[in-house]
Structure 1
Amino acid sequence: MAEAPPYRKSESLELPEGEAGARLPFCPGIRSEAEVPLEGWCSGRGSCWNYHCCLNDVGKALLCRASSSLFKDMSLLIRNLQRAIPIRRVPLRKNIEQIRRILGVQQFDLGVICVNNRHIQLLNRNYRWKDSPTDVLSFPFHENLTAGELPQPCARGEYNLGDIFLGVEHIYQECEENKEDFYSILTVTIAHGMCHLLGYKHSTETEWQQMYEKEAQILLELNRLSDTNLQPLTKHHF
């Protein structure tokens, strides 16, 4: 788990050599057409990275969005940039949509990107200075967030929560080790990441308590809707 990492101005995402999602000159995070995955996604906060949606055939279309207003009908974008772990999109999307409704943020765009260990480790090293894989990194679109308060956009292009990078390979390995259900933990991890996008942190015990209570509230309602028994990711953080 990780708090929203700090951005470095004017910096674009660099992927390891051979990683799915290579760099094209006009698309940060994409290095060569040959290595563009079936569903490429490079993203970040508007002030630092441009948004790009790399379609299956790069030769046909490469849509670049500098603001979310180009995607008014695509408020939830899920991209899978890894092949280590199969991802079932239908239940994943259903759970994310339920969490969005519980939080009351359906009107905000959200990006969820699934990556492997190498990719999440690169992000973790570049933005948190920790050279190891992790389960989730959240990149809020808005600055100076107050936990418990929704962002107050001034324009349509600002109706954006940001992006959640899921280290699905790392999550799967931990689930195997702890004998836990992968999709249950994936759902809990997404709820955790969305709390970070809304300003919640766990750097201190006071912050952790506030974030833990919010996660518990989300999962209590989700458990009621889906007949599950999900527990907050930060349960034993302090």
Structure 2
Amino acid sequence: MIDLDIINNQDIIEYKDDLIVLLNKVVEKSLEVENVEGDIEVSLSFVNNSEIKELNRDFRGKDKETDVLSFPQYENQELIKQENNIVILGDIVISLEKAKEQAREYGHSFEREVAFLTSHSMFHLLGYDHDTEENTKLMREKEEKVLELLGILRKS
């Protein structure tokens, strides 16, 4: 069972229930692609640009806005798969304000952008990083595979 706990801490960008349904599918598909099973919990918070800037400063030492932050509870998938109880995978924080800006910039829908950011963050929670060119390529392939499997295309 997958429990996606969504917390809306912003009031700038309105969204529909369809977005929540989509993000549940993204989380499920990300876990499926990695063969991670069991009782999984993920927290997903929607914030505005000022709040994510503050979090980015406090937790990463970068005093600037960003689109998404990931706070994994485990270092790698082996540790996740060893758990016998409910696995609290970690926290995802998305600036819906920044996602809206980026969707316009990239020429695709807001829903596609938030789905991408969720997929991106899920792979961080699953132990991936984009710290090298090789790791970035691998992570991008996985993110795009999830979106492709769900029919979420770049221009959708």
Answer whether TM exceeds 0.5 for this pair: yes
Per-residue deviation, 1:160: 1.3
Show the counterpart of 2:153.
229
Aligned: 1:92 with 2:34: no
Q: CA RMSD in A?
A: 2.2
Is 1:206 paired with 2:130?
no
Distance in 2 (CA, whole Å) between partners of 1:177 and 1:218 is: 22
Higher helix share goes to which structure? Answer: 2
**TM-score normalized with structure 1 length:** 0.57
Once residues 146 and 107 of structure 2 are traced to their aligned partners in structure 1, the CA distance between those partners, rounded to angstroms, is: 24
| Count of residues in correspondence between the two structures | 150
Matched residues in 2 for 1:75 and 1:198: separation?
Answer: 16
Partner of 1:163: 91
User: Which sections of structure 1, spanning at least 5 residues, go unmatched?
Assistant: 1-72, 232-238
Query: What letter corresponds to residue 173 of structure 1 in structure 2?
Result: E
Offset at residue 74 of structure 1 (A): 7.9
**Alignment counterpart, residue 194 of structure 1, candidates 106, 122, 130:** 122
Contact 2:6 2:45 in 1 (8 A): yes
Given that residues 188 and 230 in structure 1 are in contact (C-alpha distance below 8 angstroms), is that contact kept between their aligned partners in structure 2? no
- Distance in 2 separating the partners of 1:161 and 1:185: 22
Q: How does 1:15-164 map to 2 (within 5 A)?
A: 75-88=3-16, 90-102=17-29, 103-104=31-32, 105=36, 107-142=39-74, 144-146=75-77, 151-157=80-86, 159-164=87-92
* Structure showing greater Rg: 1
Gaps of at least 5 residues in structure 2 are: none
Q: Percent identity?
A: 33
Compare relative contact order (CA 8 Å, sep 6+) and give the higher one, 1 or 2.
Answer: 2
Does the residue aligned with 1:151 lie in a helix, a strand or coil?
A: helix
Normalised to the residue count of structure 2, the TM-score between the two structures is 0.85
Q: Of 204, 208, 215, which residue of structure 1 is paired with 2:143?
A: 215
For the structure 1 residues 196 and 170, does the alpha-carbon distance in structure 2 shift closer, same or farther, using more than 3 Å as the test? same
